[in-house]
Amino acid sequence: MPAPRRMTLALATVAGLLAGEATAADDGLGAYLAETCASCHQADVRNSAIPAIIGLDETRFVSMIKAYRSGERSDSIMQAVAKSLSEEETAALAHFLATQGQQ
């Protein structure tokens, strides 16, 4: 195999490994953040005015957080929570919550 081709393959392999590590780290971050959410967003919503967020679509979750952050959606607690989350945290939390609904 020519040297440039080997180098490309090696870089692609390393990038794939690093992406896997990032996903594991993101899942850990999402799980950590979800612990705080669970204090209000219970899985059993039959007796609660606060909706469950487990299994919520990632895109929808991110969109809702952005709407709270911008003030488009009004709820003082959720606006404060949304403003406290970075983009990375929001994405990790959205991914974690979405995957929990698949179990």
65 burial class (0-12, 13-18, 19+ CB within 10 angstroms)?
Answer: buried
Burial per residue of 13-43, b for 16 or more beta-carbon CB atoms within 10 angstroms, e otherwise: eeeeeeeeeeeeebeebbeebbeeeeeebbe
Number of H helices, E strands in the chain: 4, 0
Domain membership of residue 54 as a residue range: 3-100
**DSSP symbol at 73:** S
List pLDDT tens digits, range 34-55: 999 988 987 766 667 888 899 9
List pLDDT tens digits, range 80-94: 999 999 999 999 999
Number of domains making up the chain:
1
The whole model's pTM is what? 0.71
**48 residue type, one letter:** S
Find the CATH number of the domain harbouring 72.
1.10.760.10
